Amino acid sequence: MKIDTKSKKVNKAWLNEHLSDAYVRMAQKDGYRARAAYKLKEIDESLQLIRPGQVVVDLGAAPGAWSQYLRRRFAPKEAGVGGAAVGDLNGTIIALDLLEFEPIEGVVFIQGDFREEAVLAQLETELAGRPVDLVVSDMAPNLSGIEGVDAARISHLVELAIEFSVSHLKPEGVLVSKVFHGSGYSQLNDLFKKTFKRVKAIKPKASRDRSSETFLVGIGLK
């Protein structure tokens, strides 16, 4: 069997970088499932978005680091094992993803494709008519490597998150959505500005330097 030595070198380099990453080590120490928790943490601390008692929808939630951070914010005095708090939960967290999701105490999880009407209907059933304070979206499509195709897939997911937010957020509600610099970014930024009263673009320190990801934050529906 022929072994792709170049691929092996790339994988080894990635693994070495991953294991030496400060945020990976912090996540292991703090009990978070992924370093992504610190991206939401930085956005939250910068803008003071998350407060106990809120209704939050976490889109693209697997493996669960953002839901863990939300759970901790909703029970700050009950810090427990595994990156999430335990005990009483002052707030509602509904997480959704195509992938499986190891349960987090008090977090409602829906497995399915956000693009499908049946999955959206299930999400609306869980909301039971309650308006949403905050939508956080770390959704990203499987990338093909073809720039135009990938830009369209990314834009579609962000547009769906905006559409959901318009239908379900409180007037002063907030959407945090992952986007990528490149083709389609300026159009998504314009769409945020048409939809929300205030828009901020944040690239958290926990985002890798070479990554083109940025988070757009829309505050208050127009």
Domain boundaries, the chain: 1-30, 33-221
- Where is average pLDDT lowest: 41-50, 81-90, 146-155? 81-90
Is residue 120 within 8 Å of 114, Cβ to Cβ?
yes
Q: Is 138 annotated as a binding residue?
A: yes
Q: Above 60 in pLDDT, residue 12?
A: no
- Where is average pLDDT lowest: 17-31, 38-52, 129-143? 17-31
Which residue is catalytic, options 6, 178, 194, 205? 178
Is residue 190 within 8 Å of 65, Cβ to Cβ?
no
**Strongest mean pLDDT among 51-65, 66-80, 198-212:** 51-65
Q: Above 50 in pLDDT, residue 3?
A: no
Q: How much is the pLDDT for 130?
A: 96
- CATH H superfamily, domain 33-221: Vaccinia Virus protein VP39 (3.40.50.150)
pTM over 0.85: yes
Active site annotation includes 6: no
Q: Above 60 in pLDDT, residue 81?
A: no
143 DSSP assignment: P
Sign of the C-alpha dihedral computed for residues 176, 178, 180 and 184 taken in this order: negative
Q: What is the mean pLDDT of residues 92-101?
A: 96
Q: Which of 159, 157, 202 is nearest to 181 (CA)?
A: 202
Q: Is 97 annotated as a binding residue?
A: yes
